[in-house]
């Protein structure tokens, strides 16, 4: 059964790849966690300097770092850290080193829930995929569950058709939650990422298609899921 209620948490840690992931993808659910009384934190591995959406000649790593800090503040994030791994090359980095950063921050903030992108990284971006793998690797040593933001099959299919992009969606049978959300704060956070949102029709279309709900699924649940075999 799909729940409409977020899992209880006192401290949520987002593990993501790029500045704006915390807003464009996870922002509405992060706001919902804050409204539930949870403390939220964000660990981001790159400064997003390889983006092709930038519209001027400013140093993109610096621009996006400042945007990230502003957006995190808007989202009510208590602690955030932006690392400096090369954008587009997270899969080339030592996995144990990336995981060590996530374990350290999980312990620092006392996280009892890790929140990240779905397997497949929503868009298939290799940095998103690697960040999700790191998030899952934290579960065992830290004893915390891992929750993923996903997009619905229908939304993925429409976006892929309209924009020629490859989105990884999930059917209702694969969902654990479909939670009602308010996008007001998320949109304010998105607006902080001017370099990435000012000309981003895919983002605006996804928000329109998703409406006032966000689907979620456990990657690693609080307890093992019941076996389907005898």
pLDDT, averaged per 10 consecutive residues of the chain (230 residues), comes to 96 97 97 98 94 70 95 98 96 98 98 97 92 97 97 95 91 97 97 89 95 98 54
CB 31 within 8 A of CB 160: no
The reported pLDDT for the residue numbered 76 is 97
Look at residue 158 in the predicted model and tell me its pLDDT: 96
How confident is the model at residue 164, as a pLDDT? 87
Question: What pLDDT does residue 116 have?
Answer: 98
What is the residue range of 205's domain?
11-220
Q: Decide if 193 contacts 19 (C-beta within 8 A).
A: yes
94 three-state secondary structure: coil
Residue 101 structure tokens: 């950063």
Q: Is residue 124 part of a domain?
A: yes
Whether 2 is in a domain gets the answer: no
Backbone angles phi, psi at 16, to 5 degrees: -145, 170
- Show Cβ contacts of residue 29 under 8 Å, excluding neighbours closer than 6 positions: 6, 115, 149, 179, 181, 214, 216
Domain-located, residue 94: yes
The CATH number assigned to the domain holding 47 equals: 3.40.50.10320
Contact 17, 44 (CB under 8 A): yes
Inside any domain, residue 1: no
Is 114 within the bounds of a domain? yes
The total domain count for the chain is 1
Sort strands 213-220 and 177-180 into parallel, antiparallel or unpaired: antiparallel
Does residue 5 lie within any of the structural domains? no
Alpha helix stretches (DSSP H) within 110-152:
126-142
- For residue 202, count other CB atoms closer than 10 A to its CB: 14
Domain contains 227: no
Spatial separation of the C-alpha atoms in residues 217 and 27, rounded to whole Å = 16
Q: Is residue 225 part of a domain?
A: no
């Amino acid at each position: 059964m799909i729940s409409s209620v977020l899992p209880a948490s006192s401290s949520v840690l987002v593990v993501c790849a790029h500045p704006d992931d915390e807003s464009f993808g996870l922002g509405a659910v992060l706001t919902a966690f804050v409204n539930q009384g949870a403390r939220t934190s964000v660990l981001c591995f790159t400064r997003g300097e390889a983006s092709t959406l930038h519209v001027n000649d400013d140093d993109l790593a610096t621009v996006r770092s400042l945007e990230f800090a502003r957006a995190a503040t808007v989202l009510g994030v208590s602690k955030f850290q932006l690392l400096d791994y090369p954008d587009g090359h997270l899969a080339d980095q030592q996995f144990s080193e990336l995981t060590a950063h996530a374990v350290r921050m999980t312990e620092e903030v006392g996280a009892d829930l890790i929140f990240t992108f779905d397997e497949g990284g929503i868009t298939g971006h290799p940095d998103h995929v690697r960040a999700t793998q790191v998030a899952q690797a934290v579960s065992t040593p830290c004893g915390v569950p891992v929750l993923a933001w996903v997009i619905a099959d229908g939304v993925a299919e429409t976006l892929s058709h309209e924009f020629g992009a490859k989105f990884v969606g999930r059917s209702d049978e694969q969902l654990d939650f479909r939670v009602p959300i308010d996008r007001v704060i998320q949109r304010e956070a998105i607006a902080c990422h001017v370099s990435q949102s000012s000309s981003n029709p895919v983002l605006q279309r996804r928000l329109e298609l998703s409406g006032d709900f966000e689907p979620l699924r456990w990657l690693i649940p609080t307890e093992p899921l019941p076996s389907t075999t005898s």
